[in-house]
A and B are shown apart, each in its own frame.
Chain A
């Protein structure tokens, strides 16, 4: 497991971070969700935030986006303090359950929303905008659905529509709130493969998920979170019985066999197998376990 970096090195690393939390406390009204949180996300990282429901994962994402004000401390995105202005070059994919699927919009209209910052103000899309949207939709494999109502697509396709909206503005940072919820296993792997490809193309990705299987298989970096960072690093090192039990406040066993990690998170839960992963893309792991 990695060691804590020195103070001088922390300062240096913080200045290089794409996202930096410095002693941040966030909450709603009188309820504190997390406090004095320090966290850095570095350019090129592909990180997954895991932990039980209601422990602040979504709040953490929303704090980066300026949707939840910090009660103390400061959050910086690309060196700019969040709150002074809405972070640009950030793409956001909300939880799919929060989308109003009865809203009468087509796939193209949803993706066009992501072009707002660049739009010239006309209600209609320019030829250039249409071409950009068409190209991106084709790259995501939903080019044929541009003029379909969003409800007429499958779960995986719907997820790609909102991914397209986030990507159309060429973000440096992509934030996804449970991108694999509500989709079948095949679609789940397809989405994470897709995110892996985007990460390889240079997009920094931070997502939340409840699926430890998916994290172990596809993500090179995991942050175990339960109102504070329990541990972070390579899933191979982080997915231990002790860390996961602390994160989820319940007994969880992890079995290793060579390169394979088997996480038994409940008596009836599926096991997950892990071998491939990418090297951590930030600094050395700052494990707090």
Chain B
């Protein structure tokens, strides 16, 4: 049986690959910020927004998107206060948001079944409109991450210091929260709330095990995400197993392979610390004996001027 002859499968395959790729992309920043739990939490928070949108008869993407974005901003704000760690902030904000969804569902029991799809994914129900939405979000996310590459890299590495060097860290974090919320919303139908976190985290951590280069990590993570989405879809079709689960299981297998590679390769970082002697204008390049108050000793000196001088004999009055 050739699955590509079915339109629903082709839609699912494209959706899973796009979602896998874009989750792999943002996953790099999530994992390096050590906020892996945010994918899990935010997807639950968005679930609350989705339920509210349904009840209020709002557009799903708009309602859930706004809800998710606000949740991410609140998490960032609470985390910045430092007294509360990111994990606790995510736990409080997103669980409360999820609880709102559950509470509303318990009041309106008639649509309980619709939300099973949101919880566990329904990739076979992906429509052309959904595909367009996934495609647009993936493209815009890619574009924004490309445009704000330097800001995102610096902020992810050290947000506090980035601000000193002129990076508008708060704005960059808000922008990233917006991207994250959008990606989670379009991924909900494919992966389901319960599986999104794995799609975000696993490709990125696997890529981190394989490389020490940030750029390579981005490409490997996106590649793993796309491959896991596509392979997972095929396996789902042939094994007649839930697509979200097979995608995550394939990603978990990729992680195991990455882990074995990491073990075989040895430590992830080439800890070569051999001395490399490079003459430098500012570097102390050689030493000679001299004295401090009659105590003869040797330590290295730079000699930027031909005559050379001892540091203690120079003046540096401004």
Q: Report A262-289 CB contacts with B as 1/0, cut-off 8 Å.
A: 0000000000011111110110000000
Q: Is B265 an interface residue when CB atoms closer than 8 A count as contact?
A: no
Given the interface contacts A100-B157, A116-B165, A258-B293, does A281 sit within 8 Å of B278 by beta carbon?
Answer: no
Q: How far is the CB of A86 from chain B (nearest CB, A)?
A: 6
Chain A interface, >50% SS class: loop
Q: Name the B residues within 8 Å of A109 (CB-CB).
A: 153, 214
User: In the complex, how many angstroms separate the beta carbon of B269 from the nearest chain A beta carbon?
Assistant: 5
Q: Is the CB of B157 within 8 A of A259?
A: no
Selected from B165, B311, B317, the residue in CB contact (under 8 A) with A276 is: B311
Which of B208, B285, B312, B318 neighbours the largest number of chain A CB atoms within 10 Å of its CB?
B318
User: Which of under 10, 10 to 19, 20 to 34, or 35 or more describes the interface residues of A?
Assistant: 35 or more
| Chain A 77-102 per-residue mask, 1 if CB under 8 angstroms from chain B, else 0 | 00000000011101010100011101
B299, CB-defined interface residue at 8 Å: yes
Chain B interface, number of residues (Cβ within 8 angstroms): 60
The 8 Å CB contact of A279, one of B147, B272, B315, is B315
CA distance A281 to B316 in the complex (A): 7
Do A66 and B154 touch (CB < 8 A)? no
The smallest C-beta distance from B123 to any residue of chain A, in angstroms, reads 32
- The answer to whether A217 and B292 touch across the interface, beta carbons within 8 angstroms, is yes
Q: In the complex, which residues 64-85 of chain A have their Cβ closer than 8 Å to any Cβ of chain B?
A: 65-67
Is there a chain B Cβ closer than 8 Å to A246's Cβ? no
Quote the shortest CB–CB distance from A13 to chain B (angstroms).
12
Q: Is B129 an interface residue (CB 8 A)?
A: no
Quote the shortest CB–CB distance from B87 to chain A (angstroms): 17
Residues of A within 8 A of B (CB): 29, 42-46, 65-67, 86-88, 90, 92, 94, 98-100, 102-106, 109-110, 112-114, 116-117, 119, 121, 123, 138-145, 148-149, 151-154, 169, 186, 189-190, 193-194, 196-200, 204, 217-218, 220, 257-260, 273-279, 281-282
Jot down 13 A-B pairs with beta carbons below 8 A, ordered by A: A66-B163, A100-B157, A116-B167, A141-B282, A190-B300, A193-B302, A194-B283, A194-B284, A204-B318, A274-B293, A275-B312, A279-B315, A282-B318
Known: A149-B212, A277-B312. 20 other contacts (CB 8 A): A94-B158, A94-B161, A104-B213, A112-B150, A113-B153, A113-B157, A113-B165, A116-B165, A123-B150, A140-B280, A141-B280, A193-B284, A193-B299, A197-B282, A273-B293, A276-B310, A276-B311, A279-B315, A279-B316, A279-B317
